[in-house]
């Protein structure tokens, strides 16, 4: 008798329902980057724990598609005897379906987990897409974790700097439809001035909202999450159970125009509206772009939270500088998990720290070659003097969100590692020091961060920068710096990261990342002002390859870091800070 597995159970379901296959995305109904354990069907089915991907399960084969960040990780997590690995972007699912399956193949999908833009792409293939009326995982996944029910809290007005009532009126005035369906949790959190606790590190409530043209809000949310919210907030809202969103859209649809975002709203809402006499207005949720331009109160919060986070980082880096060589000398090297835990303790010393803003990437040696690696007891590597240690981490503070990466060395490394580190640093400096026309797009700037690597015949397979929310999501739409076209212009008040890297599989990884604020530099032009206040390790830099402008930027940045953080760091960390931020001629002299 064959033992049951998630894959075999799903295949049995497909056979019983005369289906040729099923698409299982990493996404939940909110297209969350970090899904709750209850919603992470892809992890249960495949073992893959990354934040982006999808599976196609057929009776005779199973495929998993992941992007460049996870090409190494996925091979370590899935059963390669069962799963074929494909690139999410270079060999997309739609093309694979058209090229490999017979015409009319019935491929099932959950319409709450697929957005309209993806549906349109896949529906144009030779396959027949079959929307499921119920979730098969409700019965197949027998030990499925409960749905999250984190408490929702109101944000004090002095943190967002604008009342929810004013925000609702501002958004409603822009609507060209009778209703706007808001399905992105961070947009709901921003609109209502609330934060949630359904998913660790992502302080958003999982819920849905219908906003009418008159500014009225119907909030589809688990009532248990709202206990403790002030009546003044709740009295202006109509609360409905979360699972009634589709039915409510069906009820409202006849003769009405309902605005949906083709890239974030479940296609189930399109079906509900169109099948009940309504018209869908396809347009991006206006909150997404409006939210990305921060007001002065929010910007002040970002700056303060980065000063707190910078102090925690310096306390940590000073500790590392002492601990790594001491432990190596004692024959008991420091490990990734020990470093990660100590960094967390330093963050917890900061007054406004709440929780990490994402899972810390604490990666030594070959582990750092996996862009989104997370250490575990099974992979916990030692930090040595022979290779790099990469730390990518951040914090959720009561007034802002931080994200930074530093790559460190605790001995003199070989010439190749030094050359690659210098190339990454040069790309970082090229972009962060750039003055660019106001209204430029992220894809127009991306090559500045890659040029030094390109000159060596090297590149990296991830974006160069992403938006960051205000006490919200670490990856905030719509702005992005990457090769892929991004149609949203950058303007003063936007917050984004700059993070080039280089990764040599099986050997090492390098990344340098600062979070920055877009500011006006002169009429018609903008530049980046660094929010991140953390020294950059110059011990492995080939100084002869840096321009005088590069050196000047580093010296001015380090002087600012020293001035801002000296009063904030622990006394035992201050001498390290002074040495780490010394002018280049002193460091090299």
Q: What DSSP assignment string belongs to 479-547?
A: EEESSS----B--TT-EEEE--EEEETTTEEEE-BEEEEEEEEETTEEEEEE----PPP-TT--GGGS-
275 Cβ contact partners less than 8 Å away, ≥ 6 residues apart:
250, 253
Judge whether residue 38 has pLDDT over 70.
yes
> Are the beta carbons of 500 and 453 closer than 8 angstroms?
yes
- What are 547's two structure tokens? 């321009």
pLDDT at residue number 1: 42
Query: Mean pLDDT, to the nearest integer, of 306-315?
Result: 98
Confidence of residue 3 (pLDDT cuts 50, 70, 90): confident
Q: Which pLDDT band holds residue 72 (cuts at 50, 70, 90)?
A: confident
pLDDT above 90: residue 467: yes
End-to-end CA gap in the chain: 73
CA distance 251 to 65: 37
Predicted local confidence at residue 321, as pLDDT:
98
All structural domains of the chain with their residue ranges:
6-140, 153-291, 296-588
- What is the model's pTM? 0.94
Does the domain spanning 296-588 belong to CATH 3.90.230.10?
Answer: yes
Percent of the chain with pLDDT over 70: 99
- How much of the chain, in percent, has pLDDT values that exceed 90? 96
Q: Do domains 153-291 and 296-588 have the same CATH topology?
A: no
| Tens digits of residue pLDDT in 402-434 | 999 999 999 999 999 999 999 999 999 999 999
Distance CA(497)–CA(531), nearest Å, equals 9
Instruction: Provide the pLDDT for residue 396.
Output: 98
Beta bridge partners of 362: 391
- Please say if the pLDDT value at position 10 is more than 50: yes
Distance (Å, rounded) from C-alpha 215 to C-alpha 213? 5
CA distances from residue 125 to 111, 278, 462 in whole angstroms, order as listed: 17, 27, 28
Q: What is the Cα–Cα distance from 348 to 175, expressed in whole angstroms?
A: 42
| Contacts within 8 Å (CB) and 24+ apart, 123-127 | 124/94, 125/94, 125/97, 125/98, 125/101, 126/97, 126/98, 126/101, 126/102, 127/20, 127/97, 127/98, 127/101, 127/103
C-alpha 502/C-alpha 578 separation (Å) is: 29
Using alpha carbons only, give the angle 572, 514, 409 rounded to the nearest 5 degrees: 55
pLDDT of 2: 55
pLDDT at 14: 97
Q: Pull the structure tokens for residue 260.
A: 């949906």
Give pLDDT, residue 486. Answer: 97
CATH number assigned to the domain covering 6-140 = 3.40.350.10
Cα angle vertex 224, ends 218, 229, to 5°? 70
Nearest-CA neighbor of 424 among 382, 394, 454, 395?
Answer: 454
pLDDT at 218: 98
Torsion of CA 279, 283, 288, 293, to 10 degrees: -130
Instruction: State the chain's mean pLDDT as an integer.
Output: 96
The pLDDT value given to residue 70: 86
| CATH fourth-level superfamily of 153-291 | Creatinase/prolidase N-terminal domain (3.40.350.10)
Retrieve residue 205's tokens: 């409530």
Residue 587: per-residue pLDDT = 61
Give strand ranges (E) for 394-492: 395-397, 400-401, 404-408, 435-437, 465-467, 476-481
Q: State both tokens at 189.
A: 């959190």
Band of pLDDT at residue 51, cut at 50, 70 and 90: confident
pLDDT given at position 372: 83
Closest CA to 152 of 231, 236, 228, 237: 228
The answer to whether the bond into 478 is cis (omega within 30° of 0) is: yes
Cα-based angle 283, 287, 291 (whole degrees, multiple of 5): 140
CA contacts within 13 A on the Cβ side of 338: 12
- Span 81-97, mean pLDDT? 95
- Per residue in 340-393, pLDDT (tens digit) is 999 999 999 999 999 999 999 999 999 999 888 999 999 999 999 999 999 999
Is the pLDDT at 290 greater than 50? The verdict is yes
pLDDT of amino acid 588: 57
pLDDT digits (tens, 9 = 90+) for 568-580: 999 999 999 999 9
């Amino acid at each position: 008798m064959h033992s049951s597995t998630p894959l075999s159970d799903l295949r049995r379901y497909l056979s019983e329902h005369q289906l040729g296959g099923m698409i299982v995305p990493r996404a939940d109904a909110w297209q969350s980057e970090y899904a709750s354990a209850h919603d992470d069907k892809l992890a249960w089915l495949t073992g893959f724990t990354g934040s982006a991907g999808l599976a196609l399960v057929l009776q005779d084969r199973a495929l998993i598609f992941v992007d460049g960040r996870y090409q190494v990780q996925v091979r370590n997590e899935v059963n390669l005897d069962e799963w074929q690995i494909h690139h999410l972007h270079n060999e997309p699912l739609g093309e694979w379906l058209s090229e490999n399956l017979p015409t009319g193949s019935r491929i099932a999908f959950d319409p709450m987990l697929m957005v309209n833009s993806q549906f349109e792409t896949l529906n144009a293939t030779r396959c027949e897409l079959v929307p499921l009326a119920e979730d098969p995982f409700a019965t197949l996944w027998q030990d499925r974790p409960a749905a999250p029910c984190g408490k929702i809290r109101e944000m004090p007005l002095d943190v967002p700097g604008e009342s929810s009532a004013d925000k609702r009126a501002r958004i409603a005035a822009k609507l060209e439809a009778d209703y706007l369906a808001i399905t992105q949790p961070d947009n709901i959190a921003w609109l209502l001035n609330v934060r949630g606790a359904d998913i660790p590190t992502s302080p958003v409530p999982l819920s849905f909202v219908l906003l009418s043209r008159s500014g009225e809000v119907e909030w589809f949310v688990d009532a248990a999450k709202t206990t403790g919210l002030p009546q003044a907030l709740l009295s202006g809202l109509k609360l409905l159970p979360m699972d009634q969103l589709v039915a409510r859209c069906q009820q409202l649809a006849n003769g009405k125009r309902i605005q949906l975002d083709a890239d974030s709203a479940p296609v189930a809402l399109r079906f509900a509206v169109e099948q009940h006499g309504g018209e869908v207005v396809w347009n991006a949720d206006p909150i997404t772009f409006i939210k990305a331009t921060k007001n002065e109160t929010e910007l002040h919060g970002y700056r303060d939270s980065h000063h707190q986070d910078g102090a925690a980082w310096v306390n940590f880096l000073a500790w590392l500088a002492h601990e790594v060589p001491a432990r190596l000398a004692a024959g008991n090297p420091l490990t990734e998990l020990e470093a990660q835990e100590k960094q967390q303790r330093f963050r917890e010393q900061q007054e406004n720290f709440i929780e990490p803003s994402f899972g810390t990437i604490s990666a030594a040696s070959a582990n750092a070659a996996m862009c989104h690696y997370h250490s575990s007891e099974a992979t916990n590597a030692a930090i040595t003097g022979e290779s790099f240690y990469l730390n990518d981490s951040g914090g959720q503070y009561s007034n802002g969100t931080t994200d930074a990466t530093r790559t460190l060395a605790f001995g003199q490394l070989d010439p190749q590692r030094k050359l690659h580190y210098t190339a990454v640093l040069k790309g970082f400096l090229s972009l962060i020091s750039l003055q660019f026309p106001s209204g430029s797009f992220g894809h127009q700037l991306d090559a500045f961060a890659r040029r030094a690597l390109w000159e060596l015949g090297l590149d990296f397979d991830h974006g160069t920068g992403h938006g960051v929310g205000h006490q919200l999501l670490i990856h905030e739409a719509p702005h992005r710096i990457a090769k892929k076209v991004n149609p949203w212009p950058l303007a003063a008040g936007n917050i984004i990261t700059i993070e080039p890297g280089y990764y040599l599989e099986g050997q090492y990884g390098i990344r340098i990342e600062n979070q920055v604020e877009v500011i006006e530099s002169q009429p018609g032009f903008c530049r980046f002002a660094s929010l991140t206040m953390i020294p950059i390790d110059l011990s492995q830099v080939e100084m002869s390859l840096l321009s005088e402008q590069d050196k000047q930027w580093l010296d001015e940045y380090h002087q600012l870091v020293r001035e801002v953080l000296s009063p904030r760091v622990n006394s035992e960390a201050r001498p390290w800070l002074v040495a780490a931020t010394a002018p280049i001629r002193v460091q090299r002299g």
